[in-house]
Amino acid sequence: MMDIHEILEHLPHRYPFLLVDRVLELEPGKSIHAYKNVTINEPFFVGHFPHHPVMPGVLIMEALAQAAGILSFKSMDEMPSPDTVFYFAGIDDARFKRPVLPGDQLHLHVEIERQMRGVWKYKAEARVDGLLAAEARLMCAKRDL
C-alpha cells in the first residue's frame, strides 16, 4: 500500500493534475490497484457540466496512466528524475461504460501487458462500486530529457 506521500515521490504530477490518491495493491512487474476520490471540489466540474457534473473521460484515462506510471517506476525500482519523463504515448480500445460523478471512488486497475526498450503497454480498467466505468489499452514511453 502507498499513501499520498509515497505517491508524490513516484509521480511528477501535482495538484490539480495529480489523479491518484492511494495505492491499495502493487505487484512490481505485474499490476496495480489504486484509487482516486472524486469530489465536487475538482476544478474540472466547474465547466463539465455545471448542471450535471461528470468527470471527463480523458481525465479517467489520465488517472489510469498515472497509476501505470507508478507501477512502471516501482517495477524498474526507480524514482522519477528531472532527466527523464514518462509520456502517455497511446490509447487503444477506449470505452466509457458509465459516468463518474462527484462522490464516487474511482478504482484504477492496471496490468502490464509488455515492456520493451522503454515502451510499456498496459490493460487498464476504472471501476466505481465494482462496476466498469471505463477501460482501455494504454501505452507509455520513458524518454530522457
Would you give the DSSP letter of residue 2? B
The domain total for the chain is 1
pLDDT for res 53? 97
Tens of pLDDT, residue by residue over 60-96, are: 999 999 999 999 999 999 888 888 888 999 999 999 9
Burial class for 55, CB neighbours closer than 10 Å (0-12, 13-18, 19+) = buried
Q: Is the pTM of this model over 0.95?
A: yes
Beta-bridged to residue 137, according to DSSP, are 92, 123
- Domain harbouring 36, CATH code: 3.10.129.10
Respond yes or no: is residue 48 known to be catalytic: yes
Q: Which three cell numbers stand for residue 28?
A: 512490481
pLDDT digits (tens, 9 = 90+) for 96-106: 999 999 999 99
- Cβ-proximal residues to 26 (8 Å cutoff; 6+ apart), any chain: 2, 32, 33, 70, 71, 74
Domain of 131, in residue numbers: 4-144
Across residues 48-63, what is the average pLDDT?
A: 97
- Options 13, 48, 52, 109, the catalytic residue: 48
Are 69 and 86 spatial neighbours (Cβ–Cβ below 8 Å)?
Answer: yes
The Cα 10–Cα 20 span in angstroms is 11
- What per-residue confidence (pLDDT) applies to 81? 87
What distance in Å separates the CA atoms of residue 80 and residue 101, rounded to the nearest whole number? 31
